[in-house]
């Protein structure tokens, strides 16, 4: 017994502060949130009456929540697709020897250093829905004004105010902000492929397309998977950017579960807010846990 204490004691003492902090501020809060989601606490008045999973079933049957899930799907597809495409293209360009690589790499990475709130304030102006000069001196602003000034006024649109694809416009600033990060991932993947492997493929008669298809792309699969997981789970939790761009968090056209949870919370509907939070946690877990299992198995190999 004493030998075990001597063996494990120092390590446990070193990890104890982290274990306590994570246990209290992560897992205990998750448990408490789950407990609240099982009650009928739909007002500021505390309630310990448990209703089981009624809050979850009511939410899943709510057309507004269903619409928020649909918006989340559109946002995730556009956000994920845009960051992967632009990130890969920029990495592909920078992978070729060129002057000023360090400068352009810094330019691409800079948006990632800006908070979503700060960039959202700027993009709220850029994505203004005004399309024509208004009475009283109000004029078009942002991208719509730029399009009008270069003779492309027919491309003006409502951006995030569009009732059908407004949520896709929200993905534009997110793509701008995170494409540099995905670029860094792909660039590291490109640089990790030995030049000898490429030369051997060329000597064997591979064209550039076959070189990328049969040699480079398979080598980039782990990087692609990492980018999909990271960007995918970020899109599921995206809140601050939407909140900074859209004045009213309850705007139906761009409502996602995260903003709906906020609306429920400030309306003192704590049970529904907690239930939405747990649903988001499950969605993130569905995305992240298989990736963690995959990487764990890969490390064991």
Return the pLDDT at 135: 53
Return the pLDDT at 76: 94
- Say if residues 123 and 245 touch (Cβ distance below 8 Å): yes
Strand runs (DSSP E) across the chain, as ranges? none
CA atoms within 13 A on the CB side of 237: 15
As a whole number, mean pLDDT of residues 239-249 equals: 86
Taking only the tens place, the pLDDT of each residue in 246-298 is 887 777 888 999 999 999 999 889 999 999 999 999 999 988 888 888 777 76
Return the pLDDT at 27: 92
pLDDT for 156 beyond 90 = no
- Burial class of 259 by CB neighbour count within 10 A (0 to 12, 13 to 18, 19+): buried
Structure token digits, residue 219: 């080598």
Taking only the tens place, the pLDDT of each residue in 202-236 is 888 888 888 888 888 888 888 998 899 999 989 98
DSSP state at residue 50: B
Place of tokens 């909140």: 243
Taking only the tens place, the pLDDT of each residue in 82-133 is 999 999 999 988 887 777 777 888 888 888 888 889 998 899 888 887 655 5
Question: Of the ranges 26-30, 35-39, 81-85, 209-213, which one carries the lowest mean pLDDT score?
Answer: 209-213
**DSSP string computed for 101-156:** HHHHHHHHHGGGGS-HHHHHHHHHHHT----S--TTS----HHHHHHHHTT-GGG-
Structure token digits, residue 265: 């919370």
CATH number of 64-300: 1.10.3720.10
Listed in sequence order, the residues at least 6 apart from 79 whose beta carbon sits closer than 8 Å to its beta carbon are: 171, 174, 175, 178, 231, 234, 235, 238
């Amino acid at each position: 017994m004493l030998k075990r204490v001597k063996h494990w004691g120092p390590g446990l003492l070193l990890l104890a502060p982290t274990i306590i902090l994570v246990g209290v501020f992560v897992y205990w809060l998750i448990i408490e949130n789950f407990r609240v989601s099982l009650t009928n606490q739909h007002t500021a008045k505390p309630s310990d009456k448990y209703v089981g999973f009624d809050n979850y079933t009511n939410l899943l049957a709510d057309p507004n929540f269903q619409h928020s899930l649909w918006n989340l799907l559109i946002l995730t597809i556009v956000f994920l697709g845009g960051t992967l495409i632009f990130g890969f293209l920029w990495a592909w360009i920078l992978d070729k020897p060129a002057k000023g690589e360090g400068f352009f790499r810094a330019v691409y990475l800079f948006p990632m250093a800006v908070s979503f709130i700060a960039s959202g304030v700027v993009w709220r102006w850029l994505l203004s829905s005004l399309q024509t000069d208004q009475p009283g001196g109000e004029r078009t602003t942002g991208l719509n004004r730029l399009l009008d000034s270069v003779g492309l006024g027919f491309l003006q649109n409502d951006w995030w105010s569009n009732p059908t694809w407004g949520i896709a416009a929200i993905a534009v600033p997110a793509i701008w902000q995170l494409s540099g990060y995905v670029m860094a991932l792909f660039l590291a993947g490109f640089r990790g492929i030995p030049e000898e492997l490429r030369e051997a493929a060329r000597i064997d008669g591979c064209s550039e397309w076959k070189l990328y298809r049969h040699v480079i792309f398979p080598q980039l699969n782990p990087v692609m998977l990492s980018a999909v997981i990271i960007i995918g789970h970020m899109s599921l939790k995206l809140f601050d950017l939407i909140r900074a761009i859209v004045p009213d968090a309850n705007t139906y056209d761009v409502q996602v579960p995260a903003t709906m949870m906020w609306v429920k919370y400030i309306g003192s509907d704590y049970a529904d807010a907690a239930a939405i939070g747990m649903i988001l946690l499950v969605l993130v877990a569905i995305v992240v846990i298989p990736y963690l299992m995959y990487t764990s198995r890969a490390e064991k190999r």
